[in-house]
Structures are given as structure tokens and as C-alpha cells.
Amino acid sequence: MNGRSVGAVVEAIWALEDRFPVDEWVVDGLHVWPIVRYHLYNQGYRLRPDVATTRDGILRRAGRRMRGVVSELGSVGRLALALQPADVLFVSDGVSFVRTPVGLVDRYAYPFVEMSTELGLSVAVVQPSASSSFTGRQSKSQSLGGLVGWAEAIGAIRGRLVDARVRLPGFEAAMAIFQRVVGVSPPNTRDIVLSSVAVEAISAVMLRVLDYVGPKLVPVVCYYGAPQYAMMLACKRRGVKSMDVQHGLNGEYHWAYSRWSRVPSGGYEVLPDVFWCWRQEDVSAVRAWSTKCATKAVLGGDPIVRWFASESQNSFVDETALARLKVLAKGRRLILLTLNGYESQETLRQYVGVSKDLSDEFFFLFRVHPVRLGQKEVVRKLLKDDDGAELDLASDLPIWTLLRIVAVHVTEVSSSVLDALSFGVPSVILGRTDLDLFRAEIESGWAVAVGSSEELRDAMLKQLNRVSLLRRPELPDSRAVLEAVIADS
């Protein structure tokens, strides 16, 4: 991590919203405060601009896309042939796949495809990236990557050549305050103009998709980002209900889901109509502000958990792999250590040191984040011949498979704390920053935080000893919630 807490950046964003008329910031008729928020968080917390929605990023991508523009001219026709009318149009992120005995599964799309099919509804699946992938036994996603890139390139050129109608009262003063408080360079007016023009351009593609499919509901994994914002905008213009599907830690301290204190009378065009939430805390964070507009929040839970937790659906669980892990553990209690990909070298050394020091009583499963697999080799070098740890098998298996057999879960900052809770596994959080993200889990006792690796052993034993006293929350009936959302469409 970068040493700057999520809370500090989010609070700086809130302060701007309280002080400036951000609900009046408009570019060519589009209210752009959600886009500005996105920029501020990326640049304030990750210390890197978002490639898809900053000036240099857009222009670089535009150049690449324009070189292949001729090959994309037939994409509209191919897409029209591939897409069929459907009740539900699911927009996948195109990267969240898990390997199971029944094949690769899109962890977000698959449950919605299955639930919709059980409800007698037809489903189409698309993704903004450049390749199609299987999302489940009954559906194959269609890539919008070529069309999105082409539209983005046209938008980038238009943004450079055509003057936009811009109204951003107080914008420069607000960005100056953010820079002073957070200590990073904020976006400038040109960045925001180019981002909004890109969203408008891509929305033309999304409108065509909606016209082909004619859905009642459009669930989207992670509603923010240029293609996703564009789909939200297109849904608003076609009168189709859109829904954000939770994909990680939300709650009170997430910039995209909490405390929109200034909302235009008609709402923000790029925000979804419904937020599908995993926890009651996530629902409450949305409902605290959504009374200002027509936005709703529903408690649907994380549907994939039911497939892995169910004793009657073991086709998702690789029992052979679990048996192998138990053999490697040699009777020691299994500890799942999930990495988020942003850990410092020092944090990784602390984890490995704990693993080696406690190898007599614990066996550690080091699980690298599925989209940060490059970290695996870094961890491998640190582990060397550690007899108290497993890396490859732990990283290959879905986290929900591992949670069936582990005693305690350890992490820095990760939504895996929520996954562990769903399986009745207590967590230990290493570090005392960003604890607001886990307030409910800490208050309930399902998670404890420690400030150093020296405290890890005692914290793990504490969690092991009191797990039987903790109340495990019931999983929501996801299918019934989905049915109600569609009935309200």
C-alpha cells in the first residue's frame, strides 16, 4: 500500500462535496462529479492515474485503436448476429474467473446466469474487454472490446478538436484544496472533459447493444470506469433498469458507494438504479444518501458463496486438491493468508517470517490475488523451502474452496474478510489503517486487527478459541432478491 489510508482520501473527497456545488459540474449536459470522484480516488490512493479516463491514457489508447479501425468496421454487424434478445443483460468485468472441476467460471456472471435461468429468464452476457470467455455452462460472453475501443478513439479525437460546453463552478479551487490536503496532483479540466466525451462516445455503442438485446435489467460488475459509466448512461436514456453488482469492499468508506451529499434533482446519469449489496452495512451506506433520488439498495449477498458452501453441490469443489493440502499440512491447523497484490516487500517478509516461526503448529496457505499473479514469484523467492507453507495450490484454487478447510484467515486489506465470514472462518487483519472498511466485522468479533507480525500468533489463537462463540450470519436468498428486482423493472 502507499501509506495513505482509504479513509483519508475519501474524507478529502467528501469535504469537497460539502463545500463546492459539484452537482452543478456539467460537460455537454452530463453531470461529471462521479467521473471526478473516480479520478480523485485513483490519483489520491493508488498514486497512479486511471489509464482509461485521463488525457494521456485516452490519447495513447486512441492511437492504438485507430490503427485497427478498419478491422473493427464489421464489429457492429458481428455483434448484431451474436446478440439475441434477452430478459437480462449481464455486463461482466471479463477478468474474474475461477477454476473449478466443471471448468472456468465467471464468479460474478455465472450465479446470475444460473439464477435467471431458474426463474425462466433468458440471459445475454457481454464484457468490455477484447476477448470473449465462457461465463457458465449456459452462456458465453460477447466482447465489446473492439467497439468500445473504436468509440473511445473517436471520442478522444472529438475531445481534442471540438469545444465542449463546460460548466465547472469552483473546480480549480476544489482541486487546489485536494492537492494540498492529499499531496498528489488532481485532474485538470481537460482530463474531465476528455473523460466525459469518452463516456458519451462509448454510450453510443451501449445504446446499440441495448437495442439488440432489449433487456429488462442490466446488472454490471463495478459500475465505474468509462465503458461501465457509458452503459449506465445508455440505460438511463433507454429507460432500462441498471444494477451495480458488488465486487469487493463497499460500505461507508468506499468513494463510489457512500455519501453522495449533493445529487442533482434527476440523479447522476452514470450511477445505477439499483445497488446489489453483500452486507447490511453496504445497504445502509447507500440508503443513507439515496433518498435524494430514485436509487435503491438490496441485500442480495454474494451468490457464488452458496454454490461453494452447499454440501449438495460439491461439483464446484476440488476435493482431491483439498485432500492433498491436508496431507501437506501433516496435522497442523491450516491458515489462509490472502494477498491483495499491493503489499510492500516488508509486509511480505513479515508474513513469511511468521510462517516459518510458527511452522510447528500452523500450515500457511499463501494465496496470491487472481489478477496479481506476478506477485507469486516474489513470494516464492521469500518462502524458498519453507515446510510450513504452500503457494501454488493455494493460489490456483478458488478462495471459497480453501475456506471449507481452514481455521483462520489472515490478510492486510481485502474483501476476503467477507468471504471468510460467509464460511464461518474468523480473520486477523495485519495493519491498523483502513479499519473503517471492516468496522462491522471487528465489532462482531469475526475480525481482529494487529499492528505487527509479532502479534499475529496470539491473535490467531484468540480467533481459534472464540470462533464457537461467534454468531455466523445467514446468507440472503439471492434468487428471491433477483426475482424481486426484476419484478420491479
Cα 198 to the chain's mean position, in Å?
22
pLDDT of residue 82: 73
Q: Which residue has the cell 465486487?
A: 247
pLDDT of residue 263: 94
- Domains of the chain, by residue range, sit at 6-70+145-299, 309-469
pLDDT tens by residue, 400-409: 999 999 999 9
Q: b/e for 298-330, b at 16 or more Cβ within 10 A?
A: bbbbbbbbbbbbeeeeeebbbeebbeebeebbe
pLDDT of residue 484: 97
pLDDT tens by residue, 352-364: 999 999 999 999 9
pLDDT of residue 46: 61
Which long-range CB contacts under 8 A does 103-107 form with residues at least 24 apart?
Answer: 103/134, 103/137, 104/133, 104/134, 105/135, 105/136, 105/316, 106/133, 106/134, 106/135, 106/136, 106/141, 107/304, 107/398
Q: Which residue has the cell 493440502?
A: 325
For domain 309-469, give the CATH number: 3.40.50.2000
Query: In 3D, which of 464, 465, 453, 467 has the Cα closest to residue 355?
Result: 453
pLDDT tens by residue, 269-311: 999 999 999 999 999 999 999 988 889 999 999 999 988 887 6
pLDDT band of 132, cuts 50, 70, 90: very low
Contacts of 212 (CB under 8 A, 6+ apart): 79, 80, 83, 84, 85
Query: Mean pLDDT over all residues of the chain?
Result: 88
Q: Are strands 97-100 and 103-106 parallel, antiparallel or unpaired?
A: antiparallel
pLDDT of residue 335: 97
Contact 197, 163 (CB under 8 A): no
Which long-range CB contacts under 8 A does 24-27 form with residues at least 24 apart?
Answer: 24/167, 24/169, 25/167, 25/168, 25/169, 25/171, 25/192, 26/165, 26/166, 26/167, 26/168, 27/164, 27/165, 27/166, 27/167, 27/168, 27/192, 27/193, 27/196, 27/197
pLDDT of residue 204: 94
Q: Is the pLDDT of residue 434 over 70?
A: yes
Q: What mean pLDDT is predicted for residues 90-94?
A: 92
Least reliable range by pLDDT among 37-46, 115-124, 133-142, 433-442 = 133-142
pLDDT of residue 47: 43
- Tell me the C-alpha distance between 3 and 11, whole Å: 16
Percent of the chain with pLDDT over 90: 63
Better pLDDT: 385 or 343: 343
pLDDT tens by residue, 20-75: 999 999 999 999 999 999 999 988 876 443 334 455 555 555 555 555 444 444 55
- Tell me the C-alpha distance between 487 and 204, whole Å: 28
pLDDT of residue 435: 87
**Orientation angle between helical segments 145-161 and 189-213, nearest 10 degrees:** 140
- Tell me the C-alpha distance between 123 and 297, whole Å: 22
